[in-house]
Amino acid sequence: MKKLVILLALLAPAAALVLVSCGSAPKATPSNLPAAKESTIELIDDQFHEKKFPDWVKMTANPSDIEESEAILKADKGKVYVFVTTQQGKSLDGVQLWAKNFNMAADIASVVSTRVQSSFAGAAAGDKDKLDAYMEQVVKTMSSATYSGAKRKQDYWARIRETKPDGAVSDYFEYYLLVTIPKDVLDQQIKKALDGADTAVKPKTEEEKVARDRVKKALETEGL
């Protein structure tokens, strides 16, 4: 199960809900009901036994920031796209086995296609409703593609303890893989997917064709 929610909960404090009352008690509404108690998340062990997330794990929500980090990527800075995939499990052996069996060329496809879809939607802007079928075809192609240039750059595991409001405690493990793909290689695959979608799903109007051209130009010039 891929999941980054727990990581975000560990790295940033939850926002507090402040309730103010004066005079007579207000009628209970969704905005002034007492906040529900939340589970407590704690990092209790990790790969280096330092109980400290490495910088690239903290930056997983913004992979483009990792791509521009010389400290993390060294000579690959600015030359590769970065993808982080995670697995959660009850045992360390289980998540380590997942990482060991992870096929760089094929298994990273779902992570790549998700980012392509997000970038596509951003480039489409107000034209997204005209391009739904086209985008679906592009994402379908990317999700079934093989990425021969994919490389495992770094990995990391953490042991997490969750304490629920009722006092129940459970431990589990999160495994993180940082995968890189050369930008020129992936950009070429995206271009082929866009061109292939043009053939598979013909534009119905000139307006749709113009919208497609705008998206292709944006992705080709700006990348993911």
d(CA 16, CA 7): 19
The DSSP code for 126 is G
Dump pLDDT digits (tens) for 10-41: 444 433 333 333 344 444 455 555 666 789 99
The tokens describing 21, both together, are 């009352």
pTM across the whole model = 0.77
As a whole number of angstroms, the distance between CA 169 and CA 202 comes to: 55
Amino acid 55 reads D
Name the pLDDT band for 122 (thresholds 50, 70, 90).
confident
Structure tokens at 145: 């593609």
Q: Examine the pLDDT at 76 and tell me if it is beyond 70.
A: yes
Q: How many residues does the chain have?
A: 224
Could you write out the three-class secondary structure of 56-113?
Answer: HHHCCCCHHHHHCCHHHHHHHCCCEEEEEEEEEECCHHHHHHHHHHCCHHHHCHHHHH
The type of residue at 22 is: C
3-state SS, residue 42? strand
- Give the pLDDT score at 35: 61
Paired tokens of 154: 């770094």
CB contact burial 119-157 (16+ within 10 A = b; e otherwise): bbeebbeebeebbeebbebbbebbbebebebbeebbebb
How does pLDDT run across 172-210, given as a tens digit for each residue? 999 999 999 999 999 999 999 999 998 999 998 999 999
